[in-house]
């Protein structure tokens, strides 16, 4: 898919090679991050910055990620933009526990575009119900792993019957 064919409201699902990305994909599927493109800006929640908007070129500057585009044909992009703006500056939800004062990426997208269901969160791999990566991650946070808590993940959102897959974004 070419950049010039993007429309306001398109969803970007990404896959990269970081350790966190690999742990997310091992547990949940193909994607490790999700963002929404609104009025020429990319809105998303990420660990370093919390909920932000950035221009498309800055979002695409990470050459280690692949970007896959999905569209919700019935989107009211102006209403979603208004919701997206309300949460700018909120912190990143590093614990992935439910809450409304901070957001992880798919939690943010589901909050501003309420067409997605929550599912029981999983943190396992092919060997364990909670992978070594996630156990160490939550040990460092001093929290119990939120296994089976209500949540979302990028791959689950991408599977929504409401979305249409448009292809990988390329220049």
Asked whether the CA dihedral 124, 116, 30, 66 is positive or negative, the reply is negative
Both tokens of residue 60? 């695409």
Give the pLDDT score at 17. Answer: 82
> For residue 160, what is the domain's CATH number?
3.90.1720.10
In a domain, 139, yes or no: no
Asked whether the CA dihedral 142, 148, 151, 157 is positive or negative, the reply is positive
> DSSP secondary-structure letter at 84?
H
Cβ burial of 147 (10 Å; 0-12, 13-18, 19+) is: middle
- What lies within 8 Å, CB to CB, of 65 at 6+ separation is 14, 15, 16, 33
Report the domain count for the chain.
1
The confidence band for 50, taking pLDDT boundaries of 50, 70 and 90, is: very high
In a domain, 103, yes or no: yes
What are the φ/ψ torsions at residue 132 (nearest 5 degrees)? -60, -40
In a domain, 29, yes or no: yes
List, for residues 85-136, the tens digit of each pLDDT value: 999 999 999 999 988 799 999 999 999 999 999 999 999 988 899 999 999 9
Could you list the residue range(s) of the whole structural domain that residue 14 is in?
A: 3-117+152-168
Closest CA to 46 of 91, 87, 96: 91
Give the pLDDT score at 91. Answer: 97
Cβ burial of 128 (10 Å; 0-12, 13-18, 19+) is: exposed
What's the whole-number mean pLDDT along residues 51-55? 97
What's the whole-number mean pLDDT along residues 15-22? 86
């Amino acid at each position: 898919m070419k950049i010039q064919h993007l429309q306001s409201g398109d969803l970007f699902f990404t896959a990269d090679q970081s350790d966190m990305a690999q742990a997310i994909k091992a547990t949940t599927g193909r994607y490790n991050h999700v963002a929404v493109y609104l009025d020429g800006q990319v809105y998303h929640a990420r660990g370093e910055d919390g909920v932000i908007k950035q221009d498309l070129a800055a979002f695409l500057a990470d050459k280690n990620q692949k970007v896959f585009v999905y569209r919700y044909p019935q989107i009211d992009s102006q209403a979603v933009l208004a919701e997206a703006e309300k949460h700018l500056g909120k912190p990143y939800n590093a614990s992935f526990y439910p809450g409304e004062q901070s957001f992880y990426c798919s939690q943010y997208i589901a909050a501003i575009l309420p067409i997605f269901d929550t599912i029981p969160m999983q943190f396992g791999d092919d060997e364990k119900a909670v992978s070594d990566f996630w156990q160490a991650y939550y040990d460092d946070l001093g929290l119990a792993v939120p296994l089976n808590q209500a949540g979302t993940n990028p791959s689950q959102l991408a599977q929504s019957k409401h979305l249409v897959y448009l292809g990988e974004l390329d220049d």
